[in-house]
Amino acid sequence: SLMKLLLLVGLFLSCCSSTEQHAAGPCTNDATQKNDYTNFQLRHLAPAERNDSVAWWRDYMKNNELCGRIDQQTFIHSTIDVVNKICSRDGGYLWKNNLCISKAKFTVTVVTSPKHDNECMNITVEQRDFIYVAVKCENVKLNKDVKCVPVHFHEMLKKLPNTKMNGCVK
Ligand SMILES: *[C@@H]1O[C@H](CO)[C@@H](O)[C@H](O)[C@H]1NC(C)=O
Ligand SMILES: *[C@@H]1O[C@H](CO)[C@@H](O)[C@H](O)[C@H]1NC(C)=O
> How many angstroms does the Cα of residue 51 sit away from the middle of ligand 1?
6
pLDDT digits (tens, 9 = 90+) for 86-131: 999 999 999 999 999 999 999 999 999 989 899 999 999 999 999 9
Strand partners, 140: 32, 147
Model confidence, pTM: 0.84
- Structural domain of 138: 22-157
> How many angstroms does the Cα of residue 59 sit away from the middle of ligand 1?
11
In a domain, 167, yes or no: no
In a domain, 7, yes or no: no
* CB contact at 8 A, 140 and 31: yes
Domain count, the chain: 1
Residue nearest to atom 2 of ligand 2 (CA): 122
Which CATH number does the domain housing residue 104 bear? 3.10.130.10
Which 8-state DSSP code applies to residue 116? Answer: T
* CB contact at 8 A, 112 and 70: no
> How many angstroms does the Cα of residue 45 sit away from the middle of ligand 1?
19
pLDDT digits (tens, 9 = 90+) for 131-159: 999 999 999 998 889 999 999 999 999 99
* CB contact at 8 A, 37 and 149: yes
Dihedrals phi, psi of 110, to nearest 5 degrees: -105, 120
Dihedrals phi, psi of 77, to nearest 5 degrees: -90, 100
Dihedrals phi, psi of 10, to nearest 5 degrees: -60, -45
